[in-house]
Amino acid sequence: MNRPVKCMREEKFARPGEVIIAADEIADIVAGLARDISRDYADRTPILVNLLKGGVVFLADLMRQLSIPHQIDFMHVSSYENGTSSSGSVRIVDDLSCSVWDRDVLIIEDVIDTGITLAYIVNVLQLRGPRSLEVCTLLKKGAESTVHMPIRYVGKVIPDVFVVGYGLDYEESFRTLPYIATLEIVDQP
């Protein structure tokens, strides 16, 4: 669905703008990440911890390309309480269903912007005693993140603009676009 949607807080409309990563490029990026992860975890069975909701499309494609045994689990976190800027505080809406103690954990994230969400989740999971804890993100914004931490797998560094598609939303719209695009705010639908 890519028709314009009415913005919640103002008399304007939002719609996908310029495509910055086409569907076939996304597929190549995901395949490359899956190859790297399969190589690095060749003798292990990691738990892929997916941060909902934005990361779900990425996980679904990534896990089907992994050549290693793995488990998946989900953590529903939210920091953007509708709109285009982080609220700065992270909320765990739903927690994992499994223990990560003594397990190899790989966080699967769709985008790192300020890094606040990830820093919070890394701290939470680290306290639960995983054997290892790494991060794989499809996108990382190019500007310096507020939070600095090593990110083992980065699909693509993008400009510091709000993007939608391939799981990423604007006020819950545009997650189903097969590509990643900027967001345009316009006066008329």
Active site residues: 113
Based on the shown chain and the rule CB under 6 A, indicate whether residue 79 belongs to the binding site for ligand PRP. yes
For ligand PRP, which stretch binds (CB under 6 A), given 10-18, 48-56, 63-71, 179-187? 48-56
Based on the shown chain and the rule CB under 6 A, indicate whether residue 74 belongs to the binding site for ligand PRP. no
Rg (CA), the chain: 17
Site for ligand PRP in 138-157 (CB under 6 A): none
Q: Buried (b) or exposed (e) across 42-58, using 16+ Cβ within 10 A? A: eeeebbbbbbbbbbbbb
For ligand PRP, which stretch binds (CB under 6 A), given 3-11, 28-36, 98-106, 115-123? 115-123
- CB nearer to ligand PRP: give 130 or 167: 167
Based on the shown chain and the rule CB under 6 A, indicate whether residue 169 belongs to the binding site for ligand PRP. yes
- Tokens of residue 76, six digits: 């529903």
- CB nearer to ligand PRP: give 104 or 113: 113
CB of 73 to ligand PRP, least distance (A): 16
- CB nearer to ligand PRP: give 106 or 112: 112
- CB nearer to ligand PRP: give 52 or 68: 52
- Distance, in Å, from the CA atom of 33 to the CA atom of 82, rounded to the nearest integer, reads 30
Chain centre distance of CA 5: 22
CB of 33 to ligand PRP, least distance (A): 17
- Distance, in Å, from the CA atom of 13 to the CA atom of 8, rounded to the nearest integer, reads 9
**Minimal CA–CA distance to 21: which of 11, 10, 9, 30?**
30
Q: Are 171 and 82 in contact (CB under 8 A)?
A: yes
Task: Identify the residue whose tokens are 């807080």.
Answer: 9
**Contacts with ligand PRP, residue ranges (CB under 6 A):** 51-54, 78-80, 86, 109-118, 169
